[in-house]
Amino acid sequence: MADSSDVPHDGSWRSASWRTQLRRRLLTWFTTSARDLPWRKTRDPYAIWVSEVMLQQTQVATVIPYFERFLRDYPTPAALAAADEAEVLRRWEGLGYYRRAKQLHAAAKRITAEHGGRFPETFEAVLALPGIGRYTAGAVLSISRDQRLPVVEANTLRLYSRLIALRQPPTATAPNRLLWEVAAAILPRQQAGRFNQAAMELGALLCTPRNPDCERCPLRSLCPTRREGLQEEIPGKVRTLQYEDRSHVAVVAQHEDRFFLRRCPPGGHWAGLWDFPRYDLTPAAALPGDALAAEVERRFAAEFGFAVRLGEKLKTLRHGVTRFRITLDAFTAEANRREADSAECGWYQPHEILDLPLNTTGRKLSRLLP
C-alpha cells in the first residue's frame, strides 16, 4: 500500500497555528462571500443529498432550477420512492449522467424500506445507500448535521493540493490519501459543515484550475503554492482523456401519424431512457449513401422484425458521451407496418413523446417532428 508520508509536499498544515489561521480566515470569508444558493437555506439531509448528487459534474447555474423543481415534486424520500422511474428520469432530463437519477431513486426506496422514510444519520448507513461514496456521505452529514467529516471533491482537491504544494497528481493513491488526511486535520470541532462548504466555495470561485485569483484569496499568505509561483503546475497533471470519434445514425421511423421509439437497454448509454433507434456505424458511416441506407435498414429489420425505407437526412447533431465524440446523422424513414407496442418499444404521436424520458439528442429530434 502506498505511504502518504512519502509524498513530496509542504508540511505547514501539521502546525496547529497554521490550521487555526486557515479556519478563521476561511469561515470569515465565507460569511461575506458565499453565494445565495437554495440548498444552503435548509438543514434537511434529503434536500442536501439531492443537491450534492445534482452538482456532480454539473454547473451550479444549471442545477438550481432542477433542484427547486425536484424538491417541489418529491419533497421527501418517500415521495421519490413512490414515483415511477420513468417519471423521475423525465424530471432529470437535461442534467445528463442519468445513472445519478436512477441511483437516487433506488436509494430513496432503500431509505423508505429500511429507515422508515427518514434519511439516515450515521456515516456507515449513508455510505451503504446506492450511488453514495465517501465524499457525498461526508458532505451531506457535515452540512446537515455538522458531523466532523472531511470532504474531498473537485474543488477541495484542487484547493488542498495547493495549500500543501502537492508535487504529485492528486488522484494517485498515496497523494489522494494524504489529501484526505489534510481535509480531516483542518476541520474545526464545530461548524464542520460550514467549513466544508466554505472550502468548496473558495475552490469554485477563487482557487480555479486556471488563473486562480490569489490576490483576493483569504488564504494567500498561508499558501506555499502561491509563494513559490506554482499555481499553474499544482495540482499535478493527470492523464488527459483521449476522445474517440464515432459516427451514429438515428432512424426516425414513421407510420401514418406515429413515430417509433425504443427504450435504451440496461448496461448501455442512457439505460432506461427512450430514444429513436440508433446505430454505431463507425467506420461504415463513410459508405456512399445507398450502401449506408442498406446497412441501416438491415440492422433495423434484424432488431425489430419489420422493414423501414430510409429517406432524407433530418438533422446532424454532435455530442459527447464519456470518452466518445459522436456525430449523429438522423434520417426520416417510412415503416411498412406498425407493430404492437411493448414495454421496450412503441409508436407515439408527437404530443405523446413529450411525456417520455428521452436522452438529449432524442429530445432535440422530437422537436423536429411535424
Helix (H) or strand (E) holding 193: helix 192-205
How many Cβ atoms sit within 10 Å of the Cβ of residue 48? 23
* Separation of alpha carbons 21 and 6, rounded Å: 26
Q: For residue 255, which phi and psi values (nearest 5 degrees)?
A: -135, 115
DSSP string, 251-281: EEEEETTEEEEEEPPTTSTTTT-EE--EEE-
With 0-12 CB in 10 A as exposed, 13-18 as middle and 19+ as buried, what is 63? buried
CA distances from 207 to 9, 212, 235, 296 (A): 18, 5, 11, 49
Q: Which amino acid is at 232?
A: E
**Integer Cα distance of 78 and 98 in angstroms:** 20
φ/ψ region of 178 (left if φ > 0, alpha if ψ in -120 to 50, else beta) reads alpha
Residue 41 contacts residue 196 (beta carbons within 8 Å): no
Q: Are strands 244-255 and 324-335 parallel, antiparallel or unpaired?
A: parallel
Instruction: Determine how β-strand 278-280 pairs with β-strand 244-255.
Output: antiparallel
Tell me, rounded to whole angstroms, the distance of Cα 20 from its chain centroid. Answer: 34
68 labelled catalytic: no
The answer to whether the beta carbons of residues 141 and 149 sit under 8 Å apart is: yes
User: What is the four-CA torsion angle of 112, 116, 121, 124, rounded to 10 degrees?
Assistant: -60
Cα–Cα distance measured from residue 332 to residue 324, given in angstroms and rounded to the nearest whole number: 25
The end-to-end CA distance of the chain, in Å, is 61
Please give the single-letter amino acid code of residue 182: V
Q: How many helices (H) and strands (E) does the chain have?
A: 15, 7
- Residues with a catalytic annotation lie at 52
